[in-house]
Amino acid sequence: MSEPIINRLFLGAGAMKAGTTWLYDLLNRHPQIYFTPEKELHYFYARHMRSDILSDQSRLENVQRKYLKFDPARARPLAIRDRMRRNANYLDGQVDDHR
C-alpha cells in the first residue's frame, strides 16, 4: 500500500519578492519532486475577490491551455500520468473548502 499523500505534502507560503520562485525552480528540477502545474493558487483571492477564477469554464480553459502540453520526446510517462490524474481531480467538480 502506498504512503498517504499527506505524509509527502509540502506547502510553501511566502510573500512577494521573498525567494519563493527561486525555491520553486530549484526544487522543481528534482526528479522525485512533483509540483502541481499552478505555482500560485491564489486561494484567498478566489475565495474573497473573484470566485470565477475557479469556475468550471475557467478550469477547463486552464487545463486546455496550460496543463496538458508536453513534449513526448522529453516527457516522463509517470510525470504525465500524475499530471493527468491531477487534471482529472481539478476538473472533478466545484472547487470549495470541503474538497
In eight-state DSSP terms, residue 66 is: I
pLDDT of residue 2: 67
Name the more confident of 4 and 49. Answer: 49
pLDDT of residue 63: 85
Model confidence pLDDT, tens digit, residues 34-84: 776 666 767 777 778 887 887 888 888 888 887 777 888 888 888 888 888
pLDDT of residue 21: 85
Residue 95, by phi and psi: left (phi above 0), alpha (psi -120 to 50) or beta? beta
- 0.85 cut: is pTM over it? no
